[in-house]
A and B are shown apart, each in its own frame.
Chain A
Amino acid sequence: MAAALRKAMSFNSKTARWVNAWLLLSPAAVLMVAFTHFPIVGGFFASFFSTARPGRPSRFVGVENYTSMLNDPVFWQVLGNNFFYALGTIPLSVSLALLMAVWVNGRFRGRAVVRAAYFTPTILPMIAVANIWLFFYTPQIGLLDKIRSLFGLASHSWLGDPGTALACLMVLAVWKDAGFFMIFYLAALQAIPPELEEAAVIEGAGRWYFFRRITVPLLMPTTLFVVVNATIHSFKLVDHIFILTKGGPDNASSLLLYYIYEVAFSFWDTAYASTLTVVLLAILGALAVGQFAYLEKRVHYR
Chain B
Amino acid sequence: MIRGVDEGERLEMLAAWLLAFLWAAPLLYAAWAAFHPMDFVSRFDLRAPLTLDNFRSAWKVAPFARYFLNTFLLVCMTLAGQLIVCTLAAYCFARFEFPGKNVAFLLVLVQIMIMPDVLIVQNYLTTSRLGLVDTILGIGLPYMGSAFGIFLLRQAFKQVPQELEDAARVEGAGWLSILLKVYVPLTRPTYLAYGLVSVSYHWNNFLWPVVITNSTTTRPLTVGLSIFGAPESGVNFSVISAGTLLAVSPLLIAFLLFQRQFVQSFMRSGIK
Which residues of A does B touch, CB under 8 Å?
Answer: 5, 17-18, 20-22, 24-25, 27-32, 34-40, 42-43, 46, 96, 99-100, 103-104, 106-108, 110, 112-136, 141-143, 146, 175, 178-180, 183-184, 186-187, 197-198, 201, 225, 232, 235-236, 238-239, 242-243, 257, 260-261, 264-265, 270, 273-274, 277, 280-281, 284-285, 287-288, 302
Instruction: Give chain A residues whose Cβ lies under 8 Å from the Cβ of B203.
Output: 125
Q: Which residue of A lies closest to B206 (CB)?
A: A239
Q: Which residue of B lies closest to A100 (CB)?
A: B19
Q: A43-B119, A236-B118 are in contact. Are A120 and B255 (CB under 8 A)?
A: yes
Instruction: Give chain A residues whose Cβ lies under 8 Å from the Cβ of B92.
Output: 21, 24-25
Which residues of B does A touch, CB under 8 Å?
Answer: 1-3, 12-13, 15-17, 19-21, 23-24, 26-27, 29-30, 33, 41-42, 84-86, 88-89, 91-93, 96-99, 101, 104, 107-108, 110-111, 113-126, 141-145, 147, 150, 175, 200, 203-204, 206-207, 210-211, 221-223, 225-226, 229-230, 235, 237, 240-241, 243-244, 247-248, 251-252, 255-256, 259, 262-263, 266-268, 270-272
Q: Please tell me if the beta carbons of B263 and A115 are within 8 angstroms of each other in the complex.
A: yes
Min distance, Cβ B227 to any Cβ of chain A, angstroms: 10
Q: Which residue of B lies closest to A280 (CB)?
A: B118
Q: Which residue of B lies closest to A291 (CB)?
A: B113
Q: Please tell me if the beta carbons of B272 and A24 are within 8 angstroms of each other in the complex.
A: no
* Residue from A106, A110, A179, A232 in contact with B1 in the complex, judged by beta carbons closer than 8 Å: A106
Which of B13, B96, B270 lies at the interface centre, i.e. has the most chain A CB atoms within 10 A of its CB? B270
Q: Please tell me if the beta carbons of A118 and B226 are within 8 angstroms of each other in the complex.
A: no
Q: Which residue of A lies closest to B226 (CB)?
A: A127
Instruction: Give chain A residues whose Cβ lies under 8 Å from the Cβ of B122.
Output: 38-40, 42-43, 46, 274, 277
A232 to B118 Cα, complex, angstroms: 10
Instruction: Give chain B residues whose Cβ lies under 8 Å from the Cβ of A104.
Output: 16
A273 to B117 Cα, complex, angstroms: 14
**Other CB < 8 Å A-B pairs besides A40-B122, A179-B23, A261-B120, 6 of them?**
A31-B142, A35-B119, A36-B114, A106-B1, A127-B226, A287-B113
Q: A42-B122, A235-B118, A261-B207 are in contact. Are A17 and B98 (CB under 8 A)?
A: yes
A281 to B115 Cα, complex, angstroms: 10
Q: Please tell me if the beta carbons of B124 and A122 are within 8 angstroms of each other in the complex.
A: no
Q: Please tell me if the beta carbons of B111 and A32 are within 8 angstroms of each other in the complex.
A: yes
A96 to B118 Cα, complex, angstroms: 27
A141 to B92 Cα, complex, angstroms: 58
Min distance, Cβ A63 to any Cβ of chain B, angstroms: 19
Q: Please tell me if the beta carbons of B263 and A119 are within 8 angstroms of each other in the complex.
A: yes
Instruction: Give chain B residues whose Cβ lies under 8 Å from the Cβ of A131.
Output: 225, 229, 240-241, 243-244
Q: Which residue of A lies closest to B13 (CB)?
A: A108
Min distance, Cβ B9 to any Cβ of chain A, angstroms: 8
Min distance, Cβ A277 to any Cβ of chain B, angstroms: 6
A193 to B249 Cα, complex, angstroms: 38
Q: Please tell me if the beta carbons of B1 and A225 are within 8 angstroms of each other in the complex.
A: no
Q: Which residue of B lies closest to A201 (CB)?
A: B2
* Residue from A116, A143, A243, A270 in contact with B259 in the complex, judged by beta carbons closer than 8 Å: A116
Q: Please tell me if the beta carbons of B113 and A277 are within 8 angstroms of each other in the complex.
A: no
Q: Please tell me if the beta carbons of B145 and A32 are within 8 angstroms of each other in the complex.
A: yes
A288 to B113 Cα, complex, angstroms: 7
* Residue from A108, A142, A285 in contact with B113 in the complex, judged by beta carbons closer than 8 Å: A285
Q: Please tell me if the beta carbons of A242 and B210 are within 8 angstroms of each other in the complex.
A: yes
Q: Which residue of A lies closest to B245 (CB)?
A: A128
Instruction: Give chain B residues whose Cβ lies under 8 Å from the Cβ of A18.
Output: 96, 98-99
Q: Please tell me if the beta carbons of B96 and A260 are within 8 angstroms of each other in the complex.
A: no
Q: A32-B145, A37-B107, A128-B247 are in contact. Are A143 and B29 (CB under 8 A)?
A: yes
Min distance, Cβ B101 to any Cβ of chain A, angstroms: 8
Min distance, Cβ A86 to any Cβ of chain B, angstroms: 14
Q: Please tell me if the beta carbons of B121 and A273 are within 8 angstroms of each other in the complex.
A: yes
A224 to B22 Cα, complex, angstroms: 27
Q: Please tell me if the beta carbons of A31 and B2 are within 8 angstroms of each other in the complex.
A: no
A275 to B143 Cα, complex, angstroms: 23
Q: Please tell me if the beta carbons of A302 and B42 are within 8 angstroms of each other in the complex.
A: no
Q: Please tell me if the beta carbons of A123 and B113 are within 8 angstroms of each other in the complex.
A: no
Q: Please tell me if the beta carbons of B99 and A128 are within 8 angstroms of each other in the complex.
A: no
Min distance, Cβ A199 to any Cβ of chain B, angstroms: 11
Counting from the closest, the 6 A-B pairs by CB-CB distance are: A31-B145, A39-B122, A28-B89, A35-B142, A117-B20, A125-B204
Q: Please tell me if the beta carbons of A281 and B114 are within 8 angstroms of each other in the complex.
A: yes
Q: Please tell me if the beta carbons of A31 and B118 are within 8 angstroms of each other in the complex.
A: no
A146 to B19 Cα, complex, angstroms: 20
Min distance, Cβ B51 to any Cβ of chain A, angstroms: 18
Q: Please tell me if the beta carbons of B251 and A123 are within 8 angstroms of each other in the complex.
A: yes
A64 to B13 Cα, complex, angstroms: 59
Q: Which residue of A lies closest to B111 (CB)?
A: A36
* Residue from B118, B120, B221, B248 in contact with A284 in the complex, judged by beta carbons closer than 8 Å: B118
* Residue from B42, B113, B226, B240 in contact with A242 in the complex, judged by beta carbons closer than 8 Å: B226
